[in-house]
Amino acid sequence: MQEIVAHLGIDQLSPSSVSRMAHDLDEQVHAFLL
């Protein structure tokens, strides 16, 4: 995950931010699949 955000130009990313992003993505994927 750290490499992905670094590629996007984000230098620092806390574990809580990663968790929040993953949760948001899970919700979007779930909504898409319904």
How would you write the pLDDT of the chain (34 residues) with one tens digit per residue? 668 777 877 777 788 888 898 999 999 999 999 9
What is the per-residue pLDDT for 24? 94
Specify the pLDDT at position 31: 96
pLDDT of residue 5: 73
| Per-residue exposure over 1-34, b if at least 16 CB sit within 10 Å of its own CB, e if not | eeeeeeeeeeeeeeeeeeeeeeeeeeeeeeeeee
Instruction: Say what the pLDDT of residue 27 is.
Output: 96
Locate the domains of the chain by residue range: 2-33
Supply the pLDDT for residue 1.
67
pTM reported for the whole predicted model: 0.57
